[in-house]
Amino acid sequence: MTANGAALGIDVGGTSIKVRLVADDGRVLEEQRVPTPREDPQATALAELVATLGQRARTVARRRGTDLGAIGLVVPGVVDEDAGRSVLSVNLGWRDVPVRARVADALRAAGVDAVPLAFGHDVRAGALAEVRAAGPGAAPGGPLATDTDTDTDTDTATDTIAALGRGTVAFVPVGTGLASALVVDGRVVPGGGWAGEVGQVRIRDGAHAGLRVEEVASAGAVARRSGAPSAHDAMLRVLDGDPVARRAWDDCVDVLADTLAWLTAVAGCHTLIVGGGLAQSGPLLFDPLRAAVADRLAGVRLPELVGARHGDAAGAIGAVLLARQARAGSAQAGSARAASVRAGSVPDVAVTA
């Protein structure tokens, strides 16, 4: 067995939970996606689900000649990493919920309490993955994309990582909701848990007055306003010429461009990394979005607008990195007690060379 064990990364989204189990040598042992529990205001069902995932991860790891070494859990909304609490998560219906303690109790009851538990914010974890990413997401059995000692485009990956480690970069996943994370000189800005909640800003003027930004500019909003079961289905309707879906898509691009332009103007971003489910639509999103952002930034340095290299797996990969940091911190302290790791702390976001 390996000395440190595998890291389990769990990224809780508004619709689904992405899970990634990674061996200590960087091999992705298993990936899966499960539905996010609904009507779960105290995160009780989520805690039980995480415990079940932990049990499975331990079994899979042992079959592969290692063991479960740490768990990283990231959640959406306003997150207080130090206290282990979800201050507010609109899409999950949480308000001041002690998520970390609840999950730790469930893990203990399931007999999976002898591993460190890292707790953090999904978007800041995704930003952490992007600034340390060495290449595209790995498939099960392949190398973890954040391990830079692989043979795949190592020089290019190193140059990219170095570039993202300087100046200001914004990571903006467009998923069920909308949020952002700023990375300044290789460090994620936590803002006391409140940084990046761009989706909660209320639109004051125009056709969308009174709505929050994410009620128009998110994958969830596009699906809902198109009358489609998912953003992917809405995209297909756009390609088929559906006028309702086209209007929802164009509105999303318009409001998202406003948000990205303000982020760039205020923070001086040289790169905007757009992730989440909607980013997987490729040119259908990025071509009009680049033009709209450029139109709004006359006289301001235009940022490079790129898709997230890990797609919608960035949060889960970031959770794996947080789990590894928790494991390292636990080993240094000589304890396997649950630990919280801030995505904005220096060790977590140090950019690899």
Tell me what pLDDT residue 3 has.
57
Tell me what pLDDT residue 346 has.
32
The mean pLDDT values, 10 residues at a time, for the chain of 353 residues are: 81 94 93 96 97 97 95 94 92 95 97 93 92 53 42 53 78 92 89 87 96 96 96 96 98 98 95 92 96 94 93 91 88 52 40 23
Q: Any bridge partners for residue 75, and if so which?
A: 121
Tell me what pLDDT residue 162 has.
62
Tell me what pLDDT residue 332 has.
63
**What type of residue is 249?**
W
Tell me what pLDDT residue 350 has.
29
Tell me what pLDDT residue 90 has.
85
From CA 54, how far away is CA 59, in angstroms rounded? Answer: 9
Tell me what pLDDT residue 275 has.
92
Structural contact between residues 270 and 169, judged by C-beta atoms closer than 8 angstroms: yes
Strand stretches in the chain, DSSP E? 6-12, 16-22, 28-35, 68-75, 78-80, 85-89, 94-97, 117-121, 168-173, 181-184, 187-188, 269-275, 304-307
Q: For residue 222, what is the enclosing H or E element?
A: helix 219-226
Tell me what pLDDT residue 155 has.
54
CA nearest to 259, candidates 196, 302, 175: 196
From CA 99, how far away is CA 47, in angstroms rounded? Answer: 8
Tell me what pLDDT residue 241 has.
97
Sign for the CA dihedral angle at 158, 263, 233, 49 comes to: positive
From CA 148, how far away is CA 192, in angstroms rounded? Answer: 31
CA nearest to 12, candidates 101, 126, 104: 126
Neighbours of 303 (CB within 10 A): 24
Tell me what pLDDT residue 139 has.
40
Tell me what pLDDT residue 342 has.
53
pTM above 0.85, yes or no: no
